[in-house]
Structure 1
Amino acid sequence: MAYQDFRDFLNTLQKEGQLLNVDEQVNLEPDISAATRALNNLGDKSPALLFNNINGYEKNKTQIAMNVIGSWPNHALMMGMPKNTPLKEQFFEFARRYDQFPVPVQREETAPFHEVELTENINLFDILPLFRLNQGDGGFYIDKACVISRDQEDPEHFGKQNVGIYRLQVKGKDRLGIQPVPQHDIAIHLRQAEERGQNLPVVIALGCEPVITTAAATPLKYDQSEYEMAGAIQGEPYRIVKAKDADLDIPWGAEVVLEGEILCGEREFEGPFGEFTGHYSGGRSMPVIQINRVYHRQNPIFEHLYIGMPWTETDYMIGVNTSVPLYQQLKEAFPNEVVAVNAMYTHGLVAIISTKRRYGGFAKAVGMRALTTPHGLGYCKVVIVVDEDVDPFNLPQVMWAISTKLHPKHDAVIIPDLSVLPLDPGSNPAGITHKMILDATTPLAPEQRGHYSQPLDSPPGVDQWEKKIIDLLNRQQS
């Protein structure tokens, strides 16, 4: 099921009716962001957009792809599943593949992006069609690139090479600003390099196969390789190729690759930027990347990510792959109790956990464990815990559990002054917040309150009829 490269996935979207070609001439601003925002407003089955006629560029030679995995059908296709696969089924299939980790990589000598190579007179304004995503952004941003860096204290450990997605502001023709959020791995690598008085080598890959973009956006453990996780997700080894200027590996199918280094001790003003929280983040002093080498395919396709008030492609891209690691890490602590986890809302600032209970107060302990997972430490501001028969992906069921099972006096637990990513606009000071666990499970002895002795059961055969109706709907639509 593995896609050869970014273009192979776009071709699949085209065949499946999940790619909309825009051939009328558009302006970089505001048309591309406006069209993508409009598409996001139309629901969770939206196609990707491919802009083929951009004012100021030769038609069909400069193309911009947006919303590439910005819907549940596109997310299913990313996994090689039918586009109409239900979300909950995608979650459990992702969890099954997550358990196949690690799948060793496949190393290649050359890659398609080696077609064009630049080491002098690099000008990102010539190479990339740059535009502001939101009108209040402080400049041009690249926000869907895989950024590769390596642990400086243990460079031989393949798993400690990180592939992450970080916002990059274009600061000059060969300079970028980067925001290394403290909870993310690249911040550790940068601290290690600067403690040695050294620059940190990095590689930036744009227009990658969606499987590595998905792995790069997954909150893995520090020593887990995103490349080996990409192999697990796609069911066969992921292909990589060595960088020329640094001991780093690059996604083989990328459209554009920038090699450079984060300059030791240098900081410049960065921001503001319209973020996934639906708010602008303010300007901050951030590190700077010097670009020393560029590769790209002939007539590369530039992939971008519109980000703003949820839901946008960000929420589809990081929904399931945020939920599954949290689920797996909770299963390590509570293997027989945790049923499913939905951490799809605003990058998991809210998480919903379905669990069995062993005794009174057990659900609150599950919620506290969620706060100490790698993702929970920087996110998971509100954790809602529901019974095992409540589907955490079915929000009406979750709201029913909160409405009928939660007692404000006994079931709302507030823990003061914990860490959260500084982009959370509610944190005060930035990066610090109170967190809350809402226990919306049925009280169990020795807890005794409420009147829950006569629950209403569904009629027999509901599960079988769900499958029959889905099959009938699929046949009707095909």
Structure 2
Amino acid sequence: MRQLPPFADLRAFLTWLEGSGDLLTVPQPVDLRHEMTALQLATLRANGPALRFEQAHSSGAVAKMPVIANLFGTRARVAAGLGIVLADLPRLGEALAALRTPAPVDGLRDALSRWPMLRAALSARPQIVNRAAVQQGSDIADLTQIPVQTPWPMDAGPLITWPVVITRPHGSAPAQTARYNLGVYRAQVLGPDRLILRWLAHRGGAAHARTWAQAHEPMPVAIALGSDPATLLSAALPLPETVSELGFSGVLRGVRTTLVAAKTVPLLVPAQAEIILEGWVHPGDTAPEGPFGDHTGYYNAVEQFPVMRVSAITHRRDPLYLTTVTGRPPDEPSVIGEVFNDLALPVIRAQIPEIRDLWLPPAGCSYRIAVVQIDKRYPGQARRVMMALWGMLPQFSYTKLVIVVDTDIDPRNWDDIAWALSTRMDAGRDLMVLERTPMDYLDFAAPLEGLAGKLGVDATTKIGAETTRDWGQVMALDPAHEARAMEFVTKFLKKGTG
């Protein structure tokens, strides 16, 4: 499936981007406090390139390493990080669907032809090495020497925004990499050797932390900064629990994942990362995290999260630091979310076959609004789809508004959606309201922290018992006449305006 060359590390990806004219080097001084955020967001919203800041500084002190930003600021670059072009997203989505629910096959030949990625993902084993590029540098003594951004004016301090946090459950061995969890959780720098890990209770890192706390033992943690694109995106993808992010990253990369033993904690870490932070999370050791600007466009509240005590920092010679910014969409996470939306479609269709398309508008903070296009065949079907979607994947339990439309409505076009709402929805009949359901506790509109209502809107044509009135007939011209009209516009009108 992979069409692009393997990107063994972040540098290989940047070299490829530069050759494609999609990397811009910024030689001028740029302040890590707030100014870099403005440049990142302006570039992203102009559909611009990835950025390499050569003179990032804070309080006038220039960083000793370049800062990379806006790496996945376009859908095309996200797809490239997955090793494919945008047109092949549906094929990768089908492979992900097969990882969750493999379809029946007709014999071994059929299995091998249809499931090569499934077989690879389940059997991929990282390669363990004794020496690694990420352990060859010797210049970084503590966290204050890493050029960490302070993105927003009211932020509590420097915030690491692209960390790949590596954990394993208590009772597992360091060599059991299939049991590792890779997650992207923001990390607030508290000082030279302490940072806060903001992992929510339902995330893999928090689940592992609970197993170590129950055993009354500190948990080893490693953080990879500046990982290769396949590792970064695998850590963010909603993969099935049976699939290792480390193994799957090798499938995406086209080259086995290379790991090396950490220096001070019993973990294996990515050998090709730019920087590795090693340390321990002790049971009950927490600190107030935040406030920080979040993907909602608001600052989140201050809350207690675990503290990681850094025991070692290893890095490559002349390392790069990778950063991103989270804020009101569009931002880099929302661009990644758009691509992941398309990847999730085959998984969703496998569970709810009548769904033809689904759009999570980026302005809806990635997952809080869903517009669903269905092939409607019976009364009440739209409501069944709403309930199935809310209960299907964990992220959809946070979707507060679901709008269901017919196949003649483009679910990615707000004008089409508005027309369907205006002509096919009655507020007294077609709204389904749920109360006290799970909700992202960062949603300040929720009346209770972590609990809120949900609204389903049936904007489909009403059939059968859904209505007692004759339904209107949609107006449409003869397709042949429309085709002739398009020829006329193309031939005469455009020529006249030229």
Aligned to 1:135: 153
Structural mapping, 1:48-447, within 5 Å:
48-55=50-57, 62-82=65-85, 85=86, 89=87, 91-98=89-96, 99=98, 100-101=117-118, 103=121, 104-109=124-129, 110-116=131-137, 122-126=141-145, 128-152=146-170, 158-235=177-254, 237-322=256-341, 324-325=343-344, 327-334=345-352, 336-345=353-362, 346-376=365-395, 378-447=397-466
Gaps of 5+ in 2: 99-116, 487-498
CA distance in 2, matches of 1:460, 1:213: 49
Q: 1:79 to 1:341 in 2, by over 3 A?
A: same
Q: CA deviation at 1:462?
A: 10
Q: Which amino acid aligns with 1:62?
A: M
User: Does the alignment pair 1:41 with 2:45?
Assistant: yes
The offset of 1:304, in angstroms, is 0.6
- Offset at 1:213? 1.5
TM-score (norm: length of structure 2): 0.82
More deviation, 391-400/310-319: 391-400
Contact 1:122-1:174 at 8 Å conserved across structures: no
What secondary structure, in the 3-state scheme, does the structure 2 residue paired with 1:264 have?
A: strand
Computed over aligned residues only, the root mean square deviation of the Cα atoms, in angstroms, reads: 2.9
CA distance in structure 1 between the partners assigned to 2:410 and 2:24 by the alignment? 33
More off after superposition, 129-138 vs 178-187 = 178-187
Deviations 1:368-405 (A, max 9, x none): 12212333355222222222344433443333333333
Measured against aligned partners, the alpha-carbon deviations of 1:324-374 in whole angstroms (never above 9, x if no partner) come to 33x34433322x322233235313111222222342111221221221233
Would the aligned equivalents of 1:377 and 1:419 in 2 still touch at CA under 8 Å?
A: no
CA spacing shift, 1:424–1:10, aligned 2, 3 Å: same
Identity across matched positions, percent: 27
Contact between 1:322 and 1:344, CA under 8 Å: does it hold in 2? no
- The secondary structure found in structure 2 opposite 1:53 is strand
Name the CA distance, whole Å, in 1 between partners of 2:77 and 2:244.
24
Q: Using the alignment, how far apart are the partners of 1:445 and 1:159 within structure 2?
A: 51
TM-score (norm 1): 0.85
Is the contact between residue 148 and residue 203 of structure 1 (CA under 8 Å) also seen in structure 2? Answer: yes
Which structure 1 residue ranges, 5 or more long, are not aligned?
467-478
Q: Which amino acid aligns with 1:342?
A: W
Aligned length: 451
Q: Give the deviation of 1:236 after TM superposition.
A: 5.2
Alpha-carbon distance in 2 for matches of 1:450, 1:157: 63
Deviation at residue 13 of structure 1 after TM alignment = 1.5
Given the alignment, which residue of 13, 19, 22 partners 2:17? 13
**Contact 1:94 1:233 survives alignment (8 Å):** no
- Secondary structure of residue in 2 paired with 1:295: strand
CA drift of 1:170 comes to 0.5
8 Å Cα contact 1:108-1:241 kept in structure 2? yes
User: Larger Rg: 1 or 2?
Assistant: 2
**Aligned residue number for residue 23 of structure 1:** 27
Cα 1:371–1:25 shift into 2, 3 Å:
same
